[in-house]
């Protein structure tokens, strides 16, 4: 396991961003999966800054989102489609043909999941996948209890996120919200993974992910088994880890 611990939040964001930029430069046809949320927003900002400073070619890079909120309009600012569009796709000038997302609304999510994973496979599979860590150990919208061999699918969202989205979008209680996500099996097929977590709210779950048993109770624990996964933390998120081989930067 390669674990990198950044001494400050700024170094944390720039280190993760540098990995994404290095992937784009070393293979200009890379297929890169990104996650949304509080952790990755500033990482994406740093990627765009690096692109402004040293304009590398991204015309053949494919960007896709790991997961999506369901039951909302995709133009809602909290939809993953809209977040990645404004944080990465538009600032870098990635063409819409090279931006793949699961839909927020569909009558047949199973078919949409197949279409999405088929298109990723058609482009050669995932070269780099950036993952955030849910406070309850979720990966994408694979909530605790998800079988570790599962493919792309819909899942529930946690109560806090559900309440926040309802508030922000005025969604009434009788409209169901949820998530649609690459499955754990799809995640494990990525050639390279970088898991990023920062802040004190992630300390306990980082420890469970790395030192606990590999179990559906903590979907992120499956990353212990991936042959090419790097973990990048800030020092707060890494505070409880008892592993010797930490690279401190
Ligand atoms: C969210 C998203 C994930 C994200 C994770 C961490 O619910 N579905 O894709 O990686 O949870 O989010 P945050 O960085 O805001 O803690």
pLDDT tens, the chain, 249 aa long: 899 999 999 999 999 999 999 999 999 999 999 999 999 999 999 999 999 999 899 999 999 999 999 999 999 988 999 999 999 999 999 999 999 999 999 999 999 999 999 999 999 999 999 999 999 999 999 999 999 999 999 998 888 889 989 998 888 888 889 999 999 999 999 999 999 999 999 999 999 999 999 999 999 999 999 999 999 999 999 999 988 777 888
Q: How many angstroms is it from 209 CA to the middle of ligand 1?
A: 15
Q: How many angstroms is it from 36 CA to the middle of ligand 1?
A: 6
Domains of the chain: 2-247 (3.40.50.1360)
**Strand residues in the chain grouped as ranges (E):** 2-6, 31-34, 62-65, 67-70, 99-100, 128-132, 153-155, 178-181, 193-197, 229-234, 246-248
Give the pair of three-digit tokens for residue 148: 């570790």
pLDDT tens digits, one per residue of 52-106: 999 899 999 999 999 999 999 999 988 999 999 999 999 999 999 999 999 999 9
154 lines ligand 1 (CB under 6 A): no
Three-class SS of residue 59? coil
pTM above 0.85, yes or no: yes
Strand 178-181 relative to strand 67-70, pairing? antiparallel
With CA atoms as reference, report the closest residue to 139 among 191, 75, 190.
Answer: 190
Burial of 174 (0-12, 13-18, 19+ CB in 10 A): exposed
- Ligand 1 atom at shortest distance from the alpha carbon of 135: 16
Q: How many angstroms is it from 202 CA to the middle of ligand 1?
A: 11
Q: How many angstroms is it from 199 CA to the middle of ligand 1?
A: 13
38 lines ligand 1 (CB under 6 A): yes
Atom 9, ligand 1: residue with shortest CA distance? 140
């Amino acid at each position: 396991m390669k674990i990198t611990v950044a001494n400050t939040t700024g170094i944390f964001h720039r280190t993760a961003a540098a990995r994404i930029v290095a992937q784009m430069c070393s293979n200009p046809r890379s297929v890169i999966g990104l996650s949304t949320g509080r952790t990755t927003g500033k990482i994406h900002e740093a990627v765009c800054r690096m692109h402004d400073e040293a304009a590398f070619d991204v015309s053949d890079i494919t960007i896709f989102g790991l997961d999506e909120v369901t039951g909302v309009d995709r133009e809602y600012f909290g939809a993953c489609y809209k977040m990645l569009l404004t944080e990465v796709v538009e600032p870098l000038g990635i063409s819409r043909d090279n931006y793949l997302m699961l839909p927020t609304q569909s009558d047949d999510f199973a078919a949409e999941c197949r279409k999405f994973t088929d298109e990723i496979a058609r482009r050669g599979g995932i070269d780099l996948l950036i993952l955030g860590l849910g406070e309850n150990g979720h990966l994408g919208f694979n909530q605790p209890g998800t079988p570790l061999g599962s493919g792309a699918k819909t899942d529930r969202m946690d109560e806090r996120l559900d309440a926040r989205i309802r508030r922000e979008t005025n969604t009434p209680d009788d409209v169901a919200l949820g998530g649609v996500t690459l499955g754990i099996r799809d995640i494990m097929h990525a050639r390279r993974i970088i898991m990023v977590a920062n802040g004190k709210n992630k300390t306990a779950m980082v420890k469970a992910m790395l030192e606990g048993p590999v179990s559906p109770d903590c979907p992120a624990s499956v990353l212990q088994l991936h042959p090419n996964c790097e973990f990048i933390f800030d020092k707060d998120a890494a505070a409880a880890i008892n592993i010797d081989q930490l690279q401190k930067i």
